[in-house]
Amino acid sequence: MKSPLFSIVLCAGLAGVWAMPAKSQTVKPMTPPVAKVQPKTLESHGHKRIDNYYWLKEREDPAVVAYLEEENRYTEALTEHTKPLQEKLVEEFRARIKQTDISVPYRRGNYYYYSRTEAGKDYPVYCRKKGSLDAPEEVLIDVNEAARGHKFFSVAGLQPSSGENILAWAEDTVGRRVHTLRFKDLASGKMLEDRIEKVTGNLAWATDNKTIFYTRQDPVTLRSHQIWRHTLGTDPSADRLVYEEKDPEFRCGVYLTRSRKFLVISSQQTLSSEYRILEADRPEGEFRVFLPRERNHEYSIDHGHGSFYIRTNWQAANFRLMRTPENKTAREAWVEMLAHRKDVLLQNVSVFAKHIAVSERKDGLTQFRIVPVPGGEEHYVDFGEPAYAVSPAMNAEFDTTLLRYSYSSLTTPQSVFDYDMAKRTRTLLKRDDVGNYDPASYQTERLWATARDGTRVPISLVYRKGFRKNGSHPLLLYGYGSYGNTTEASFRPFTVSLLDRGFVYALAHIRGGQEMGRQWYESGKLLAKKNTFTDFIDCAEFLIRQKYADPKRVFAQGASAGGLLMGAVVNMRPDVWRGVIAGVPFVDVVTTMLDDSIPLTTNEYDEWGNPNQKQFYDYMLSYSPYDQAKATVYPAMLVTTGLHDSQVQYWEPAKWVAKLRTLKKDKNVLLLKTDLAAGHGGASGRDKRYRDTAFQYAFLLDLAGVTK
């Protein structure tokens, strides 16, 4: 998935040329790389495309790396004058985000698990305490120590065994999301000899305390396609392949139900899903299909009370909830529990011993519906703000009346609550201590823009009180709009630095997400994808008309698939924006989707279309930013990427920038910044993330004429 990221992506308009200080005027203009070979001719459906920069795909070619390094030096030279502002922003981030902190402990079995961070260190320390929070601390893994000597380090899938004496996790030292599975004996503190290479971060323990299931990816496409079984103490070369997903449009994973009775293998594709189940106490058994896959049928399952609960879109576009005995999984045995509603999207279901917590979305906002089991009066949890983000947090225990959830809004810092589903009471466990921040000094609003086809599009925004709606403020507009991913109105501590400098920060909940139900997604994908782009432009113009923004200082944010959005809107309406930072942007849509050896291509045909079919080829070609780049005046742009990106390959933004350099008819700055030691998610260390964001914000503020 070309997923949204922490990194900021800004679009800017043509109000003026980015002003460079006198000392930067002598920087030699960056020229696109000269092709080492003849331009690549790409032909499909009788149509030819000439790609002068196709050779940039050669990741191991020293000339490619040399070019990326040259672009980095050019970017560094042209942004040298913003370094004092960058340092100031970094200090603000450090002061605002508590450097020594601890997460809210959660109960799992006999232990309370948590993580903590320490000032001056980049990574968390994972810990637990037995039976009580007053018990001695047991360090599970200090990621700072594990990361020593690595430029990139990431931990995934951290899980204790059923006997709570063995810890398993997957570590990635490159950023390409290809991991090594490691094990630690928590009683002795020693690492086990078991070491399994080239796996994903997805794993699940059986309940025998010695068997673990893990997922492997295809070595070329990186599609998660195999589930393997390993027994501790045995040679990994003897591990058994228990399932292989052979359909190239599907990916698979494995998990243990909250009831801990069943292991589940999931197979997912954009429009279809399938599950296999096995009793967790007999891991040597064979998984059996829950319900065979069908085109356009998406479902998910959870277990409890001797039953499976099924969230399904069978005859229910916005999904409904069904229930069936655990030994009767055929659809004819399903009984409806919660009916389909046209105006409410059923997002997910959490099954507990005495309650079911249902997450629903109505009018763009999530609400929790609490359903007693076996029966009783249902109720909703009230959150009391016009725009917010809420989601279930770590709920590891089945036999509890407590639902833990995370809550924030554009003005309320991240908060963790326990909600007693029986007593209907809530307890605030923690609210992030944000330094130099007073929520009372900021105001949030929920607005509705009318798109060009008459559709009402929600916008969430925030500004510092004292703001005057007179068209004089710079505005940063964020958008994503793909995969049915909802853009949440959550707290963003970094953006406070923008609000305090007079910015309005806004979220455009455009089609392609799922804010307004399933149809919101359907009307922003495939042959309706351009609705995503026009919605974003229409939201920007609405905010200008309503005088929330200075028309000469309108910015935008988006990354990954949101970077595609950025590329599309600057081609369609370059005059709206003042400057662009496109993060890991998916901009070479047609070429990528024609290459089934690239990660994520085949299982995304139902998101973007399959360009091997002419109808989709023509439509994708009509908006693909790389193909639609033209001789015009573009905004100032900063484009970021990672050399090891496994989701949007680095060459897409690199090629796009090279092509734009030959075409653009302006003197607005165009910069490419490549992280040579990271992948799609950017830097792994928190201080490096602060600096990356400060670099991008300084670029934005400089364009807006705010230099302090």
Short-list 96, 104, 105, 150, CA closest to 123 = 150
Tokens of 534: 């026009």
* Region for residue 401 given its phi and psi (left: phi exceeds 0; alpha: psi -120 to 50; beta: otherwise): alpha
| Active-site residue, 680 included | yes
Distance between CA 633 and CA 651 in Å, rounded? 23
HSE (side-chain half, CA atoms, 13 Å) at 506 = 31
Using DSSP's 3-state secondary structure scheme, residue 450 falls into strand
Does residue 172 contact residue 680 with C-beta atoms inside 8 Å? Answer: no
Of the residues 560, 624, 646, 684, only one is catalytic, namely 560
Of the residues 350, 680, 684, 702, only one is catalytic, namely 680
Q: Strand runs (DSSP E) across 188-338, as ranges?
A: 191-199, 203-205, 211-217, 224-231, 240-244, 251-256, 262-269, 272-279, 288-291, 299-304, 307-312, 320-325, 335-338
Centroid of chain to Cα 575 = 29
| Strand 504-508 to 475-478 pairing | parallel
Distance between CA 666 and CA 84 in Å, rounded? 28
Using DSSP's 3-state secondary structure scheme, residue 227 falls into strand
Distance between CA 459 and CA 539 in Å, rounded? 8
Distance between CA 545 and CA 627 in Å, rounded? 32
| Strand 211-217 to 203-205 pairing | antiparallel
Distance between CA 234 and CA 131 in Å, rounded? 32
Tokens 């490549």 -> residue: 674
Q: Does 283 sit behind a cis peptide bond, omega within 30 degrees of 0 on the bond before it?
A: no
HSE (side-chain half, CA atoms, 13 Å) at 475 = 34
* Region for residue 120 given its phi and psi (left: phi exceeds 0; alpha: psi -120 to 50; beta: otherwise): left
Short-list 329, 324, 330, 289, CA closest to 307 = 324
Sequence-ordered list of residues with C-beta below 8 angstroms from that of 491, at least 6 positions apart, any chain: 389, 408, 409, 410, 411, 412, 413, 414, 432
| Active-site residue, 47 included | no
Distance between CA 283 and CA 564 in Å, rounded? 43
| Active-site residue, 560 included | yes
DSSP secondary structure letters along 275-306 = EEEEETT-TTS--EEEE---TT--EEEEEETT
Of the residues 432, 535, 645, 702, only one is catalytic, namely 645
* Region for residue 250 given its phi and psi (left: phi exceeds 0; alpha: psi -120 to 50; beta: otherwise): beta
| Strand 307-312 to 320-325 pairing | antiparallel
Sequence-ordered list of residues with C-beta below 8 angstroms from that of 453, at least 6 positions apart, any chain: 531
Distance between CA 400 and CA 418 in Å, rounded? 11
Active site residues: 560, 645, 680
